Structure 1
Amino acid sequence: MKITYRKSAIGYSRDQKATIRSLGLRRLNSVVIHDDTPTIRGMVFKVRHLVSVEEIADDTSPDAETGADLERDGGNRS
């Protein structure tokens, strides 16, 4: 699942801010990819008013979304 941080947590409880951080969201409009697990769903439910969620295809890995595989080999593709 693709989770996007849409609304600031300023003015919300400390535990909601901690949940945003635990999801890996640092700045507004930042995006993270997580597996669809009950734990992640519970965290998203807790801050559903601050984030938006999109389902992504199962064959899409987090590396493909972030380009991390390009960084590992220096960005050289042959």
Structure 2
Amino acid sequence: MPRTFVWHPSKGPKTTPKPLAPTLGQLKITQVRSGIGHPHWMRRTLAAIGLKGHQQSVIQADTPSLRGQIKQVRHLVEVTPVEGSTNG
């Protein structure tokens, strides 16, 4: 009999946050978990977003390509919309 995946109740988050509604502004992306122990493509996605280390934040313009990158590493980052359109 083949082995099957068994979901353990204590593993993983209890709930996942709903994705943000599309905006024309900017997003603040904060890395809340390390890329260590994750596949190389996830670490490269974090670098492409502009995150270099744990607890670093960047402000990026909201684009469909950025949304796709965030979706790839959504368990490693926290995303909040930015009020105002100034960089810095």
**Structure 2 unaligned blocks of 5 or more:** 1-26
The C-alpha deviation readout for 1:17-53, integer Å capped at 9, x for no partner, is: 0000001101111000001100000000000000000
Q: Which residue of 1 aligns with 2:41?
A: 15
The CA distance in 1 between the partners of 2:55 and 2:82, in whole Å, is: 18
The sequence identity of aligned pairs, in percent, is: 35
Report the residue type matching 2:36 in the other structure. Answer: I
**Structure 1 unaligned blocks of 5 or more:** 67-78
The structure carrying a bigger helix percent of its residues is 1
Quote how far apart the aligned CAs of 1:61 are. Answer: 1.5
Q: How does 1:55-70 map to 2 (within 5 A)?
A: 55-57=81-83, 59-62=84-87, 66=88
Give the ranges of 4+ consecutive aligned residues of structure 1 lying more than 6 Å apart after TM superposition.
Answer: none
Count of aligned pairs between the two proteins: 62
Q: How does 1:3-42 map to 2 (within 5 A)?
A: 3-42=29-68
> CA RMSD, aligned part only?
0.8
1:34 match: secondary structure:
strand
The CA distance in 1 between the partners of 2:85 and 2:67, in whole Å, is: 19
The C-alpha deviation readout for 1:39-78, integer Å capped at 9, x for no partner, is: 0000000000000000112x3221xxx2xxxxxxxxxxxx
Answer yes or no: is 1:44 the counterpart of 2:70: yes
**Larger C-alpha radius of gyration, 1 or 2?**
2
2:71 match: secondary structure:
helix
